[in-house]
Structure 1
């Protein structure tokens, strides 16, 4: 039974001083987040590749939808299984495996002779995307010091949106250079093999998570890793706490799915899963996947919509950049609630401008302005924060497993939005669709204010001790 005493906070760790460990930690963040870049590129590239792909492979509307959506289902499976593999074999080991799968999936998609083979390799690629979405944030959270964890973990989010933006730009460039060739889509897809190889080679030179090593009784290895990415005094201080928590968890009676029988763990997993669902039900991927079609519906011409849609990619990157600059200065709950409030307001404005403005030349630009503002607000708040919270709130023993469960539900919500957005807009129009998104945003505010715990300024071990007391 968990103690009911108020947990003691550990003494303040020695302040970090400049040195080689800072550069080493920066290298870890750069290499690991290539997984996020691949996540973004592989989900965004289909937008521009789809039209030539349909011509080259003779896709029907049914097979087109299948080829696009199969990656999402692969990602859901990858998120669920990837977490278990990372808990069993290590975070670094899992990222290396995923890098290899990225290479195989990318090359397989690029050389696929028909849509059936393409669908198989899109599923393989989706598995790698889902596994990366689970494992990379956990790896970064466990390597980072508490005061830099927010900015380092959320670098993965900026790499995701940068990957999507890069996909839009690469597609436009390749179409302009070789658009007359029906197989041009293969060049768009194969570009992703370059960051996949960089991830594979880079991870060979990086260390394993010190917290995972300690959980396996490899204290000497864990301390050696901490000494690479901390000052010597800081490494020793953190290692004492990591060792104590690892020993406590080795004495636990539960493991795997059985951990969900523990009330405080079950509650954290539910909170994480619902946060992931709310992140997707803001409708962000309706813009990232169908932005061009939405803008055409709003009144842009075909070519005008393609050009205007690049603004969504640009402001997605800018939003995440601003979010990362603020994330260690504002409490997580405050930033989540503020993000939901902004998102809800811009959803209402998109809907109202679509419904109430007369059909003039200015109308599509007004809608674009509010859509871009929504994208900026979403990617500056919920986008990075939800991934950060998922990497912070779970106990070490099941951190990857629990995150896998939550990201699995996140991907299913993603699939629901992906399938549901086009027919909903066709049936109801832009205004009612965005009013539905606004109502979901209000529910998100209520949920965050009443259920989501604060993690900022606490080590992973301190937070675990506190929630054991609060929710037991």
Structure 2
């Protein structure tokens, strides 16, 4: 019996279940998403620390970009490696290793004696950040019941933006209390605490039922389901997992599987979903907001304080995103997010281009606050719609036995896009100004909007196995239709 027919026969189960979420699932999600908190803190803290480490580390504009983007370069390869090894050794063990790397990276950056060591340890930290971004959403998606998967996976995004807000508050707090020039190392060292908590918590967590089943350990898979599902849903989900894996003959994940046309298309769609989330330029705001606000006339203290507003609106709108995911489709949310972000990029570009830089010889503060308003509107669409649905879609759309590898590849693309944008943004800012930079991001955003309309699938109200069957049929049938049309087109010409 296929997943769709089983669902039809069991209206109370799976995506249509009205049973409450088991408390153990919430505990699992809270502990695993400490990886997201670390992701957010380690990417956000550099925005304030950069204002104060420059003199001690003798930073130039180029090395400033390297210090910021080196983490992102490491993250790309961390995502790729963790995606590969997660299929072999399990999602849980990967997260345990990442917690150790987080701690090493945090301590290393805090103690770095010069810019070379800072870049090296930021690379190490990036491996952990990228690994967490690829592994934690998959771990939660495979642990979560189908009817609560959207909300639980989106907790990762909530923890990311909470980590960024915590970093902004930490930066402003250290600066207000002791002065940033003396305490930027403490800003970086604070990340060691959640890394230790993540490692300790994951020691007591199981791996996912789908990973156990993929390894032939069906008794352990059932045991995890019995702890994380309502009693009436255990048999339904175990049946779907076994049927899907039987269809795939439990083959070992291989890159050669990409020879199948529908899998190539699905992998490319995943890469596109990951890339467009970064190509909006979101992380230029998250990493360089104080620098940008200083450039439009704010003081150090005002810029650091204003950046807290970015973190606060990100957290608030992520709650809105979690609420929306339970009520509207993934595709609809992606469209709202992409179109909204693009409009806000145009707004920031227009404000910085049309409004005067100075009034009576002083920086135009109205222009500064209008740019900040544009940032807050942008983050409302980004964190309230586009970012949550991006991580959720990436955790859902790939087949079970290839989920780790495909997720790693897609997140690799996300981090490479993030790395290139973060590295080039200071140069872009110097060459074409704030308005030119944001007009460029807006033009890219229009292309991203066309991609969303054309390619992003709807996955709401389906189990992971049903999503796999649906996308297989959709993409394979499209390939068959094209194969039929090609001879007809040739005869026409």
The Cα of 1:146 is off from its aligned counterpart by: 1.1
Checking the alignment, whether the CA contact within 8 Å between 1:106 and 1:125 is kept in structure 2 is yes
* Separation in structure 2 between the aligned mates of residue 220 and residue 6 of structure 1, nearest angstrom: 21
The Cα of 1:180 is off from its aligned counterpart by: 7.1
> 2:482 matched to which residue of 1?
none
Output one character per residue of 1:138-174: Cα deviation in whole Å (capped at 9) or x when no partner: 0000011111101000110010011111011111112
1:322-333 map, 5 Å: 322-333=320-331
Checking the alignment, whether the CA contact within 8 Å between 1:70 and 1:119 is kept in structure 2 is yes
> 2:54 matched to which residue of 1?
54
Distance 1:68 1:6, change over 3 A: closer
* Separation in structure 2 between the aligned mates of residue 60 and residue 300 of structure 1, nearest angstrom: 21
Checking the alignment, whether the CA contact within 8 Å between 2:78 and 2:131 is kept in structure 1 is yes
SS of residue matched to 2:458: coil
Output one character per residue of 1:91-142: Cα deviation in whole Å (capped at 9) or x when no partner: 1111111111112222222233333333322211110100000000000000
* Separation in structure 2 between the aligned mates of residue 304 and residue 104 of structure 1, nearest angstrom: 32
* Separation in structure 2 between the aligned mates of residue 120 and residue 352 of structure 1, nearest angstrom: 38
The Cα of 1:221 is off from its aligned counterpart by: 0.2
Distance 1:181 1:418, change over 3 A: closer
> 1:380 matched to which residue of 2?
384
Q: Is 1:96 aligned to 2:100, yes or no? A: no
SS of residue matched to 1:362: helix
* Separation in structure 2 between the aligned mates of residue 380 and residue 323 of structure 1, nearest angstrom: 4
* Separation in structure 2 between the aligned mates of residue 181 and residue 437 of structure 1, nearest angstrom: 33
> 2:28 matched to which residue of 1?
28
Larger CA deviation: 41-50 vs 31-40: 41-50
* Separation in structure 2 between the aligned mates of residue 101 and residue 235 of structure 1, nearest angstrom: 35
SS of residue matched to 2:22: helix
> 1:320 matched to which residue of 2?
318
Checking the alignment, whether the CA contact within 8 Å between 2:75 and 2:129 is kept in structure 1 is yes
CA RMSD of aligned residues (A): 1.9
- Tell me which of 341, 353, 361 is aligned to 2:351: 353
> 1:162 matched to which residue of 2?
162
> 2:72 matched to which residue of 1?
72
Distance 1:68 1:362, change over 3 A: closer
Checking the alignment, whether the CA contact within 8 Å between 2:172 and 2:301 is kept in structure 1 is no
* Separation in structure 1 between the aligned mates of residue 3 and residue 197 of structure 2, nearest angstrom: 46
* Separation in structure 1 between the aligned mates of residue 346 and residue 91 of structure 2, nearest angstrom: 41
* Separation in structure 1 between the aligned mates of residue 466 and residue 428 of structure 2, nearest angstrom: 45
> 1:458 matched to which residue of 2?
462
Q: Is 1:404 aligned to 2:408, yes or no? A: yes
Q: Is 1:259 aligned to 2:257, yes or no? A: yes
1:2-41 map, 5 Å: 8=5, 10=7, 11-14=10-13, 15-18=17-20, 22-41=22-41
* Separation in structure 2 between the aligned mates of residue 411 and residue 189 of structure 1, nearest angstrom: 21
The Cα of 1:16 is off from its aligned counterpart by: 4.7
Distance 1:373 1:426, change over 3 A: same
Q: Is 1:418 aligned to 2:417, yes or no? A: no
Using structure 2 for the length normalisation, give the TM-score. 0.90
SS of residue matched to 1:208: coil
Output one character per residue of 1:385-406: Cα deviation in whole Å (capped at 9) or x when no partner: 1111000000001101101000
* Separation in structure 1 between the aligned mates of residue 410 and residue 187 of structure 2, nearest angstrom: 31
Q: Is 1:428 aligned to 2:432, yes or no? A: yes
> 1:438 matched to which residue of 2?
442
Output one character per residue of 1:168-215: Cα deviation in whole Å (capped at 9) or x when no partner: 111111222232764x22211111111001100111111110011111
The Cα of 1:49 is off from its aligned counterpart by: 1.8
* Separation in structure 1 between the aligned mates of residue 214 and residue 37 of structure 2, nearest angstrom: 29
Unmatched 5+ residue regions in structure 1? none
Distance 1:119 1:435, change over 3 A: closer
* Separation in structure 2 between the aligned mates of residue 60 and residue 346 of structure 1, nearest angstrom: 31
Checking the alignment, whether the CA contact within 8 Å between 2:61 and 2:426 is kept in structure 1 is no
1:199-218 map, 5 Å: 199-218=198-217
Checking the alignment, whether the CA contact within 8 Å between 1:16 and 1:230 is kept in structure 2 is no
The Cα of 1:363 is off from its aligned counterpart by: 2.2
* Separation in structure 1 between the aligned mates of residue 161 and residue 323 of structure 2, nearest angstrom: 16
Distance 1:180 1:85, change over 3 A: closer
1:131-146 map, 5 Å: 131-146=131-146
Unmatched 5+ residue regions in structure 2? 358-363, 477-493
Checking the alignment, whether the CA contact within 8 Å between 1:13 and 1:237 is kept in structure 2 is no
> 1:468 matched to which residue of 2?
472
Length, aligned pairs only: 464
Using structure 1 for the length normalisation, give the TM-score. 0.94
Distance 1:87 1:6, change over 3 A: closer
The Cα of 1:302 is off from its aligned counterpart by: 3.6
Output one character per residue of 1:195-242: Cα deviation in whole Å (capped at 9) or x when no partner: 001100111111110011111111100000011111122112211111
* Separation in structure 1 between the aligned mates of residue 316 and residue 144 of structure 2, nearest angstrom: 24
Checking the alignment, whether the CA contact within 8 Å between 2:96 and 2:202 is kept in structure 1 is yes
Checking the alignment, whether the CA contact within 8 Å between 2:141 and 2:395 is kept in structure 1 is yes
Checking the alignment, whether the CA contact within 8 Å between 1:286 and 1:421 is kept in structure 2 is yes
Checking the alignment, whether the CA contact within 8 Å between 1:215 and 1:250 is kept in structure 2 is no
